Amino acid sequence: MNFFERQRRVALGFLEHIGTISIARYRNQHPPIDWGRLMHEWDSGEGGDDSILRRLEPDVPGLLLSYFACHGTLPLHVDSVGPGNLTFGAIVHTTRDLELDADGESVGVDPGAIFLLDPTSRHGAKADGSFVFATMDLPSHEAPTAEKFRRRVSRDLRRIAARHPMKEKQ
C-alpha cells in the first residue's frame, strides 16, 4: 500500500496496517447471538482440507452485510470483485485466537475489530477454532469511515440477535 492510500485509510479511522489490511480496533459490544446454531445451519460453501468456509444465512431480511463462518485456516486468496472496490469487514465471533494475514504478515484480532482490505491482494486468516465475520464490498469512492461501518455492523447484529438470541444455559 502506498503512502497516499495509507493516509486515506488513516483519515477513515483505520490506524493499524499489516500488509494491505488496515484495522480499527473496537471493544466487542455485539449483542449475544447463537452463532453455534447459525453455523450448524450454514449453507454449502467451499473449503480445503483444513479449512471450511460457509456463507451464513441468518434468515433476517434486509441485512446490509454478508456473513461468513470459517473453521480453521482461510488460505491466502484474492476475491473476485470489480476493479476499484474495497472490502470492509468485521470480526463478530471467535472461539479461539484469530490472525488476519496479508503479504506474508499477520496480526491478531478480536471480535469488535473492523478491517479494510484490497480484495485483489492476497489475504486470509488463521484460527485454531471457528470464527464469524461480516463483509461488504464497496467502490473506493464510497468508502465509509471505520465508525460508520461499525454502526452498519451493529445495526445488522441487533436484528440478527432479535431473531437468533443466545439461549440461557439451564
User: Domain boundaries in the chain?
Assistant: 3-163
pLDDT reading at 170 higher than 50: no
Three-class DSSP category at 94 = strand
Residue holding cell 482440507? 49
Task: Output the pLDDT for position 146.
Answer: 98
Residues 99, 47, 128, 91, Cα dihedral to 10°: 40
The fourth-level CATH superfamily of domain 3-163 is: Jelly Rolls (2.60.120.10)
Task: Output the pLDDT for position 51.
Answer: 53
Please, which pLDDT band fits residue 52 given cuts at 50, 70 and 90? confident
In whole angstroms, what is the distance from residue 98 CA to residue 131 CA? 8
Please, which pLDDT band fits residue 167 given cuts at 50, 70 and 90? confident
Pick the most confident of 49-53, 54-58, 110-114, 124-128: 110-114
> Which pTM does this prediction carry?
0.89
Task: Output the pLDDT for position 44.
Answer: 45
| Burial (CB count within 10 angstroms: exposed 0-12, middle 13-18, buried 19+), residue 34 | middle
Residues 56 and 69: beta-carbon distance below 8 Å? yes
